Amino acid sequence: MRFMLIIKADTNTEAGVLPSKELVAAMDEFNEKMVKAGVLLAAEGLHPSSKGARITFHGGGKRTVTDGPFTEAKELIAGFWLIQVKSKEEAIEWASRCPDVLGPGETAQIEIRQVFEMSDFPAELQEAAGNEPAMRAQLEQGWPKAPRA
Amino acid sequence: MRFMMLMIPKGYEKAEAGAMPSAEMVAKMTKYNQALTKAGVLIALDGLHPASNGARVSFSGGKPRVTDGPFTEAKELLGGYWMIQVKSKQEAVEWASRCPAQDGDVIEVRQVQEMSDFPPEVQKAAGATRLGGEIP
């Protein structure tokens, strides 16, 4: 089963405060443990929402684009890991072992969400997805290394 | 530049375990995904199960506390994402705008950090385990 461990943002990540060397080293150690255990598929950090945008879809093909920042920092995402484990409990265990992800003593939250696999869908949805499995296989090869622009 | 297009479906925070999209919706999304693939911009995509079978781990004073989903206080929740490689934020916004999303859905476009965005001492501290980032 794949799970996404989502790091929730706070005012520091939203302000673009860079992590300390110590924190980066601690996170690196944590990442290395997950690599050695063979569970880590991907890990990414996101720039603050001030560099982003939101597209809201209204009826009848109408869309509105709003530039960041977005105010509710607690609802925003600062980064994530994608892991492959045997159960939700194992995903929770990994998340619980994470060092203080937003800095020493900072309150932080990691949300654990199961990722859909094609086999989770009923047959008619798999059919509607057409040649999706082929595309997925191609993409999953691509995950670990981003192509360069 | 890499961007995440974060899909925040309307009302997904209230979705029950086992909630599924319609076949029609899946077919439309597949077409959109194929357009992203053909344009050579798509790196990865995934959908997430409703939060009712998720969990949250909160850290305060170094102690993890686990809360099982659903998260009733949440105003919005991630339903899935695309990671794309494009030349500008503008291009990312254009792709997001082309998505066959439903009324009330929101796509948040966020730039992904590359190793080269960090100062040299942070890059050095990070070693080589960052999987997605550009490793100099």
Question: Hey, what domains does chain B have and what are their CATH numbers?
Answer: 2-54+66-125 (3.30.70.1060)
Q: A30 with A78, same domain?
A: yes
Q: A92 with A43, same domain?
A: yes
- Give residues 118 to 147 of A whose Cβ lies within 8 Å of B: 120-122, 124-125, 127-132, 135, 138-140, 142-147
The 10s digit of each residue's pLDDT in A40-49 is 999 999 999 9
- Rounded mean pLDDT of A103-116? 89
Whether B134 shows a pLDDT value over 60: the answer reads no
Whether B136 shows a pLDDT value over 50: the answer reads no
Please tell me the distance from the alpha carbon of residue A50 to that of residue A140, in angstroms, as a whole number: 30
Residues facing residue B60 across a β-bridge:
B63
Q: A145 with A97, same domain?
A: no
How many helices and strands, by DSSP H and E, does chain B display?
Answer: 3, 6
CATH (domain of A17) = 3.30.70.1060
Q: A45 with A109, same domain?
A: yes
In terms of residue numbers, what domain contains A100? 2-115
Confidence category of residue B69, pLDDT binned at 50, 70, 90: very high
Count of domains for chain A: 2
CA of B23, closest CA in chain A: separation in Å?
Answer: 5
pLDDT of residue A147: 36
Per-residue DSSP letter, A115: B
Q: A92 with A36, same domain?
A: yes
Q: A55 with A8, same domain?
A: yes
Helix H or strand E segment including A66? strand A63-67
Residues facing residue B81 across a β-bridge:
B6, B46
| pTM of the model as a whole | 0.90
Which of B61, B76, B97 lies nearest to residue A105, judging by beta carbons?
B61
Please tell me the distance from the alpha carbon of residue A38 to that of residue A31, in angstroms, as a whole number: 11
The 10s digit of each residue's pLDDT in B32-51 is 999 999 999 999 999 999 99
Q: A35 with A80, same domain?
A: yes
> Per 3-state DSSP, what percentage of chain B is helix, strand, and coil (rounded to 5)?
30, 30, 40
Torsion on CA atoms A37, A39, A42, A43, rounded to nearest 10:
-60
CA of A38, closest CA in chain B: separation in Å?
Answer: 12
Q: A8 with A48, same domain?
A: yes
Q: What are phi and psi of B15, to 5 degrees?
A: -65, 140
pLDDT of residue B131: 47
